[in-house]
Amino acid sequence: MDAPTVNSLEAFWMGFTNNRAFKADPRLLARAKDMHYYTTDGRPVLDAVAGLWCVNAGHARPKIVEAIARQAGELDFAPTFNLGHPLVFELASRLRGVLPAGIDHVFFCNSGSEAVDSALKIALAYQRAVGEGTRTRFIGRERGYHGVGFGGISVGGMVANRRTFGALLPGVDHMRHTHGSSPPFTRGQGETGAELADDLERLVGLHGAETIAAVIVEPVAGSTGVLVPPKGYLERLRQIATRHGILVIFDEVITGFGRLGAATGAEYFGVTPDLQCLAKGITNASVPMGAVAAGAHVYDAVVNGAPAGIELFHGYTYSGHPLAAAAGLATLEVYAEEALFARAASLAPYWEDAVHSLKGAPHVIDIRNLGLVGAVELAPREGAPGARAAEVFHRCFERGVLVRYTGETIALSPPLIIDKGQIDEVAGTLGEVIAKVG
Ligand code: PLP
C-alpha cells in the first residue's frame, strides 16, 4: 500500500461522483466571490448553477461572512432541546415574512434530505393527532428528487438512487411525472397536462384516502432535468388532496428563496401547501441548514393539541445551530436589501430568451425554463447514455463556465445576482461547446 500523503485525493469518498474518473482528472475549487469560483490554479469559473442550486445571493457575501465569523466567537453551539438561543427564534420569526400566509412555524434541521424526512414524520404525527392514524401511506412522483434519506428515496422517483438500497418505506405509491405533457421547447409552463394531477385521485381510489397521509412534490422538479409543471397542475393537486384530507408537502429545497422570481414556489404558483421543505438558499449555502415550514393547523394539531410533555419525538443535535441561524438571518437581509427575488423575476424574460437561443443547435432536443432556471436537453449518444452531457459539462468548465448535467440534460440555475452580460456568456459558451461535441 502506498504511504498516505497529505494531498492524496484517495481518502475522500465522494458522493454522486465517478470517484475513479474524478481522481484521475480532478477539478478543484480554491475560493469563490460573487458570480465566480476560482480553481486551485487561479482560473475564474463563472458559476451558472449557484454551486448546487444553493448560493442564491452569490458567493462570499461580506454581510453573511461577517455574521458567521461574529457568531462563531460569540456562541459556537447551543442545543435546542429544552434550551434555546435567541437567533434561532428570530430566524423562525423572520422566515414568516418569506413564507406564504398561514405557514408560520419552522422546524430546523441541517439539509434538504433531513427536511424531507422530517416533513414526512410531521405529516404522520399530524394525521395521528387529528385521529387519522390509519393514514400512513405517502404518495410521491416519478422523477421526483427528495434527497437521500430512506424516506426521501422512497417517495422519490430517481431509479438509480433507489435501486441499490432495497428496503424502502412500505406503502408508498407514485404519480406519473409531468414531463412531455407539453411540446418540446415550451417556454415556461405548458398549457396542457393539468389532468396528470388526477393520478392522485386514481391512487385514492386504489388505496383509500383513509390510508394516505401526504403527497409530496417539488413545485418544479430540478434534479431530474428541470420539469416545469403544466398550468393548473399544482392547483388541481391541491384541490384533490384537500378533498381527501391528504396533506400537501412542497419540497422547495430548490424553488425556495427566489429561484423562480418569488420568495417560494408556493408564492409563484399561488398554491399553498401544508408543509414546505427548505434548505440550500436558506443560508445562501454558507452553513448547512434545512427546515420544515408548517401550516398553523399542523402545528396546532401536533403541538397545541397534545397532552403535556414533549409533543414531537424528533430533532437533530444541530437543529437551529447558532452559526446557521446567524447565516440565515444575514442571508434574509441580503435578499431583502438587494430585492433579489424581484431581480430574478425581472431577469427571467432575458434568461428565457438566452436559454431558448440554443434551439436549433446540434443535438438539442428540448429546452425548458422558469424563473432563473434553465435546462437544455441533448439527444443521447448511441450506446453511451449521458456521455454527451458529461462532455459538455467538462468542456464548459475548461472554458470557464460551471454548468451541471443530470442524465442528458444541462441544468442551469445561476445566483440571482447574475447580470445580462454574464447570462450572454453562459448561453454563448454553452452554444459554442454544444456545437463542437460529437
Ligand atoms: N429535495 C430537493 C428538491 C433537492 O433538490 C435536494 C437536493 O438537491 C434535496 C431535497 C436534498 O437536499 P440535501 O442534498 O441538502 O440533503
Task: Work out the number of other CB atoms within 10 angstroms of the CB of residue 183.
Answer: 10
Q: Which domain holds residue 195?
A: 65-337
Q: Ligand 1 mean position to 276 CA, how many Å?
A: 13
Q: Do 72 and 52 have their domain in common?
A: no
Query: Quick check: CB of 147 below 6 Å from ligand 1?
Result: yes
Separation CA 413–CA 425 (nearest Å): 14
Do the domain assignments include residue 139?
Answer: yes
Query: Quick check: CB of 80 below 6 Å from ligand 1?
Result: no
Q: Do 181 and 129 have their domain in common?
A: yes
Task: State residue 167's pLDDT score.
Answer: 78
Query: Quick check: CB of 254 below 6 Å from ligand 1?
Result: yes
Task: State residue 160's pLDDT score.
Answer: 87
* pLDDT tens figures, 114-132: 999 999 999 999 999 999 9
Query: Quick check: CB of 111 below 6 Å from ligand 1?
Result: yes
The three cell numbers of residue 205 are: 381510489
Do the domain assignments include residue 32?
Answer: yes
Q: Which of 251, 241, 180 is nearest to 217 (CA)?
A: 251
Query: Quick check: CB of 113 below 6 Å from ligand 1?
Result: yes
For atom 7 of ligand 1, the residue with the nearest CA is 147
Please give the number of the atom of ligand 1 that sits closest to the Cα of 147: 11
Do the domain assignments include residue 1?
Answer: no
Query: Quick check: CB of 145 below 6 Å from ligand 1?
Result: yes
Q: What is the CATH number of the domain that holds 256?
A: 3.40.640.10
Task: State residue 6's pLDDT score.
Answer: 56
Q: Ligand 1 mean position to 113 CA, how many Å?
A: 6
Do the domain assignments include residue 429?
Answer: yes
Do the domain assignments include residue 4?
Answer: no
Q: Do 312 and 188 have their domain in common?
A: yes
Q: Do 316 and 348 have their domain in common?
A: no
| Averaged pLDDT in 10-residue chunks for the chain of 438 residues | 66 96 95 98 97 98 98 98 97 97 97 98 98 98 97 94 88 96 97 98 98 98 95 98 98 98 98 98 98 98 94 98 98 98 98 98 98 98 94 98 96 98 98 95
> 411 forms bridges with which residues in the sheet?
375, 404
* pLDDT tens figures, 376-403: 999 999 999 999 999 999 999 999 999 9
Please give the number of the atom of ligand 1 that sits closest to the Cα of 252: 3
Domain boundary among 288, 307, 337: 337
Q: Do 33 and 178 have their domain in common?
A: no
Q: How far is CA 315 from CA 176, 306, 323, in A?
A: 32, 17, 17
* pLDDT tens figures, 262-276: 999 999 999 999 999
Q: Ligand 1 mean position to 405 CA, how many Å?
A: 16
Probe target for ligand 1 pocket from 253, 316, 413, with the most ligand atoms within 8 Å of CB: 253
Q: Do 332 and 343 have their domain in common?
A: no
Q: Which residue has the cell 393520478?
A: 199
Domain boundary among 317, 337, 357: 337
For atom 13 of ligand 1, the residue with the nearest CA is 112
Q: Do 190 and 51 have their domain in common?
A: no
Q: Which of 274, 182, 277 is nearest to 232 (CA)?
A: 182
Q: What is the CATH number of the domain that holds 48?
A: 3.90.1150.10
Query: Quick check: CB of 223 below 6 Å from ligand 1?
Result: yes
Q: Do 343 and 329 have their domain in common?
A: no
Domain boundary among 337, 363, 385: 337
Q: How far is CA 160 from CA 123, 143, 148, 171, 407, in A?
A: 26, 11, 11, 20, 11
Q: Are 57 and 416 in contact (CB under 8 A)?
A: yes
Separation CA 147–CA 35 (nearest Å): 26
Task: Count CA within 13 A, CB hemisphere, residue 12.
Answer: 13
Task: State residue 250's pLDDT score.
Answer: 98
Q: Do 362 and 278 have their domain in common?
A: no
Task: State residue 5's pLDDT score.
Answer: 56
Do the domain assignments include residue 197?
Answer: yes
Q: Do 42 and 94 have their domain in common?
A: no
Task: State residue 163's pLDDT score.
Answer: 87
Please give the number of the atom of ligand 1 that sits closest to the Cα of 251: 3
Q: Say how many domains are in the chain.
A: 2
Q: Are 32 and 60 in contact (CB under 8 A)?
A: yes
Probe target for ligand 1 pocket from 153, 280, 318, with the most ligand atoms within 8 Å of CB: 280
Q: Do 204 and 269 have their domain in common?
A: yes
Q: Ligand 1 mean position to 175 CA, how many Å?
A: 20
Q: Are 378 and 434 in contact (CB under 8 A)?
A: yes
Separation CA 249–CA 252 (nearest Å): 9
Please give the number of the atom of ligand 1 that sits closest to the Cα of 280: 15
Do the domain assignments include residue 76?
Answer: yes
For atom 12 of ligand 1, the residue with the nearest CA is 112
319 Cβ neighbours under 8 A, 6+ residues apart:
80, 107, 108, 109, 110
Residue 98 one-letter amino acid: V
Probe target for ligand 1 pocket from 108, 113, 286, 318, with the most ligand atoms within 8 Å of CB: 113
Q: Which of 309, 336, 315, 410 is nearest to 369 (CA)?
A: 410
Task: Work out the number of other CB atoms within 10 angstroms of the CB of residue 136.
Answer: 16
Q: Which residue has the cell 441580503?
A: 334
Separation CA 412–CA 423 (nearest Å): 10
Task: State residue 1's pLDDT score.
Answer: 47
Task: State residue 122's pLDDT score.
Answer: 98
Query: Quick check: CB of 227 below 6 Å from ligand 1?
Result: no
Q: Do 40 and 89 have their domain in common?
A: no
Task: State residue 312's pLDDT score.
Answer: 97
Pairing of strands 29-33, 36-39: antiparallel
For atom 6 of ligand 1, the residue with the nearest CA is 147
Query: Quick check: CB of 189 below 6 Å from ligand 1?
Result: no
Do the domain assignments include residue 2?
Answer: no
Q: Ligand 1 mean position to 253 CA, how many Å?
A: 6
